[in-house]
Amino acid sequence: MTIEGADVAVVGGSIAGCATALAAHRAGAGRITLHERTAGLLADRGVGLVVHDARYAELAAAGYLDTAMPWAQLTTRRWYVRDGAAPLGRQIAVQPFPFRSYCWGPLWRELRQRLPQDTVFRPGTRVTAVGSDADGAVLRFDGGNGEGGGDGGGETAGGPRDRAGTGGRTERFDLVIGADGYRSVVRDAAFPGVRPDYAGYLAWRGTVPADRLAALDLPGLPSEPWAQEDCVYGVFPGGHVIIYRIPDGHGGRRANWVLYTAPPGGPAPGHDAPAGLPPGALTDALYAHLRYVTGELLPPYWGGLLELTDRQDLFLQPMYDYTAPRYAAGRLVLAGDAATVARPHTGGGAVKALQDAVALEAALRALPERPGALEAYGTERGRTGRSMVELGRRLGRAFVQDTPDWRTLDQAGLEAAWAAADGSGAFGGRELKEAGPAGKEAEPAGKGARPAGPGR
């Protein structure tokens, strides 16, 4: 196939979906349609993510990130363990932390605005099945409307655009990119029967407006308890919390946090369990367990910070592991969490999704000269995905499932524990390489990439 003028569907409209749609556009695709099952506003998602400085430089050179996207610089990681009534706890280690922090919603909005004006975005559209042959791929849509249904309308990057109804119908495309998360219907079509594995614990997430932190007026608290550039790891038996500031998209800051620990009993989630509990749906038992961790296991200041997040704004995410055998199968291509689900401990989930887009763009451009370029993309990115899954498992075992006695650790002990878990040095994501021909070393990203932006 050739990408020039091709009709491309992207299943999934989040960060990975927008980035891969941009990749298809820059490689020369004709019509691009994004199908997003969520009917709500993705731009309202307020959780944080980080991008390693070195990975940012690569992605900026490739044209997928830039300084116009709201971000905050982080430089230092500080590890704290509870120490009686000491408000911050006892600092056991300090490490460099060269990362940029982002808020999911504003970053998604910036990526979507970089799509060409004629890109069609269909929210509330559920793809129920995918088929493919040598000449293309077919999507089948749910017949309902609203959340998960879709009426087949849509809007372009610049505003609404009418389209023929797709409810209960099929639609054919030259290429389908699956960026539809860990329950990907595209992946199920490419590699049926393969399912993510539950890791045995959960992530609680929340944010707090920066101006609310003044409410944490504890005895003995330093006048400046938390530097702007610090990322805090608060550790306790059976888990840890990570806290850092993110831009709110409106010129201010929020404290973003994610806490990892096992749930208080009950059956383990399976593949058919909810992907997560959205804000406002946290059960009483899970909320009580969170309050136990914040009140009894974390240092008072950091536990109090988590408690400033209103219950209705908390949400829960089960941890899963998965990577597809390959990222490409005929006219079906995978990217982001549809291809690989690595635990967020890696600090590289968003990075890997954006790297997938860069590598996919290079592969699509190379198709006229190298018909096997998509297969090479699938093999190379699959290798990276597997390494990130293994990193997430090692970090999860070391800092959640089999935690050390944190009270006995000092700087040297913490650094040894971290080095043992991150033996490959891949925390924050691996160096970006474009998908090259099988058996040939790939070139660093950024060479020959066209700048992002609307229009062709």
DSSP assignment string, 149-208: T--S--EETTEE------TT-EEEESEEEE-S-TT-HHHHHHSTT---EEEEEEEEEEEE
Segment 300-329 mean pLDDT: 93
C-alpha distance from residue 380 to each of 16, 128, 442, 449 (Å)? 18, 28, 9, 19
pTM for the full predicted model = 0.89
Residue 175 bridge partners (DSSP): 8
Q: Is the pLDDT of residue 324 over 50?
A: yes
Q: What is the pLDDT of residue 423?
A: 79
Q: Is the pLDDT of residue 435 over 60?
A: no
Q: Which of residues 341 and 41 earns the better pLDDT score?
A: 341
Segment 415-424 mean pLDDT: 92
Min mean pLDDT across 214-218, 257-261, 322-326, 339-343 is at 322-326
Give the whole-angstrom CA distance, residue 78 versus residue 346: 17
Q: What is the pLDDT of residue 447?
A: 40
Q: What is the pLDDT of residue 257?
A: 97
Give the whole-angstrom CA distance, residue 287 versus residue 381: 38
How far does CA 205 lie from the centroid of its chain? Answer: 13
Q: Residue 446: which residues within 8 A CB-CB, separation 6 or more?
A: 58, 61, 62
Radius of gyration of the chain (CA): 22
Q: Is the pLDDT of residue 10 over 70?
A: yes
Q: Would you give the DSSP letter of residue 441?
A: P
Q: Is the pLDDT of residue 442 over 50?
A: no
Q: Which of residues 229 and 169 earns the better pLDDT score?
A: 229
Segment 283-290 mean pLDDT: 92
Q: Is the pLDDT of residue 40 over 90?
A: no
Please measure the distance between the N-terminal and C-terminal CA atoms of the chain and give it in whole angstroms. Answer: 20
- What is the percent of the chain where pLDDT is above 70? 85
Q: Is the pLDDT of residue 247 over 80?
A: yes
Segment 252-258 mean pLDDT: 96
Q: Which of residues 153 and 54 earns the better pLDDT score?
A: 54
Q: Would you give the DSSP letter of residue 293?
A: I
Q: Which of residues 439 and 66 earns the better pLDDT score?
A: 66
Q: Is the pLDDT of residue 446 over 70?
A: no
Q: Is the pLDDT of residue 75 over 80?
A: yes
Q: Which residues of 141-167 are buried (b: 16+ CB within 10 A; e: fewer)?
A: bbeebeeebbbbbbeebeeebeeeebe
Q: What is the pLDDT of residue 453?
A: 43
- Identify each DSSP E strand in 307-432 by its residue range: 315-323, 328-329, 332-334, 340-341
Min mean pLDDT across 180-184, 192-196, 211-215, 350-354 is at 192-196
Segment 243-264 mean pLDDT: 94
Segment 173-191 mean pLDDT: 95
Q: Is the pLDDT of residue 403 over 90?
A: yes
Taking residue 307's Cβ as centre, other Cβ atoms within 10 Å add up to 18
Average pLDDT over the chain, rounded to whole? 87
